[in-house]
Structure 1
Amino acid sequence: MGEDQAAEGPAFDEATETFVAHRNLLFTVAYEMLGSAADAEDVLQETWLRWVTVDLRQVRDQRAYLVRTTTRQALNRLRTLKRRKESYVGPWLPEPMLTAPDVAEDALLAESVSMALMLVLETLSPTERAVFVLREAFDLGYDEIADAVGKSPAAVRQIAHRARKHVDARRPRQTVSPDETRAALHSFRRVLETGDLQGLMDVLAPEVVLVSDGGGIKQAAPRPINGAEKVARFMLGGLGKNQLPITLAPTVVNGNPALVVHLDGELDGVMAVAVDGGRISGLYYVRNPEKLSRVESETPLSRQ
């Protein structure tokens, strides 16, 4: 069968069954590399179009083949995203997704898709990011990663070491349990709703950083805000200007506790956090409506 000819009949059915079986894994790989669910879906579409032209009899490991194809397409897409981010209005945050309980129960998966770590991954080169994701989140072997990124296994080992060192220097110092994050969010929500400035500052770590993403569509801080007092005043000032009723509801976004914000009953944004020592050290507020399509229905993720 030629590469420009789609599979038909039993071969097409087998291709479809295999792709569907691995779809959640492939989406997760693409999302961790891109930080955008919409772009991850595009990558999966491109992977599918290539997959149905393959002679499956020539494929020894179908899962590995699909992961490799997805990785290559995601690397191509990263270059497009880089240009898009350069013209993006204000800070850029990953697209938040409502996730099922099983994602939160997988500590490694929950950390790998957390807002805090996804932002750290933004500081890696495309190849470093691909290698880090495939090695750390999905535990792929160096030979398999080398096939996916077009490097030698020896080069991939060096890239993995460099990327891990880079990420470790910027990721949270310790693992925080979901209960600890929920407790910090509960306190944050309570003092925010009461307008208690000192109480809000007590919930925030002294070196807290607020990153808000409005995409030029919704109002947001044009750059990150640093320090508990500045963040507290920004949050209370922003909420105080609204004459419409605001509700903050607990949810689980990207495998981690978060808050979904409604303004007069309409979805306004999502707040995700990083917690250190029981206090909020990172606050990530996504208001761009183009990034909020996946916070009202669950997106399945998988490392398998």
Structure 2
Amino acid sequence: MTLPHALPHLSAVADDYDILLCDVWGVIHNGRESWPTACTALADFNAKGGHVVLISNSPRPSSDVVAQLDALGVPRSAWKAFVTSGDATRAELARRAPGPAWIIGPDRDFVLYEGLNLTSAHDATDAAFLSVTGLFDDATETPEDYRERLIPAVERDLELICANPDRIVQKGDSIIYCGGAIADLYESMGGRVVMAGKPFGPIYELALREAQKLMGRPVDRSRVLCIGDGVITDVLGAAEQALDCLFIAQGIHGDAAKGPDGTLDPALAGELLRAETTFARYAALELAW
């Protein structure tokens, strides 16, 4: 497998691209603070005439996540449009209304269901399908806490709609489980899973439609660069869409791609990609201009 090219500075290839489809959590913030270097890189790309579309596996609609970005200090100049897994998932949920749906996830994610006319089931025994945005309490729970409760859903052959395909994210100095981890468990138990976020096609279709609106003309896919730290979400999704990708290798992977001199080691980055049978054109430890 071809190794990614080390790309410590986005400016080196910025003229090759019109559009950046940039991941959020793990690239421009860690859930507690934003990273000024990454935000500046995106703002500079926009200032030079490019268009940044943020593409996130947040299970909430993008309109609801903007306030979080503002609170973390992500400048509005760093992006021009924003799409989330929640945006893409709402179409899947609407097709299954009125349900009832057994909803798994924290109260903060309930905005996902607004206006969809879904009814709520108490558990799998009276549900038509499952909808997962995350763990009820990601600070204390693990996916295994849900195994026994999921058995009736598998036995009834219920679909699980997962609004956040991420398995884990870094929150400050901690790693927390996301909805994708529950979806993985359910699938391993023999259950059926549907996802619309990264790495699946619907969220990219939404993002590219937003890019076309920004440009006022059809998007040349050869001039689109995806940026992200998740191998099985960001990198695999870009590869399946035949889009170039900049792999941010220091996000959830810590120092796994860092060489003895503290810089990116393309061979180590390549090992992370090879483990999931995917590839990226570029790799960097962080996003910088």
TM-score range, shorter chain: under 0.3
TM-score by length of 2: 0.22
Structure with the bigger percentage of helix: 1
Q: Which of these two proteins has the greater Rg computed from alpha carbons?
A: 1
TM-score by length of 1: 0.22
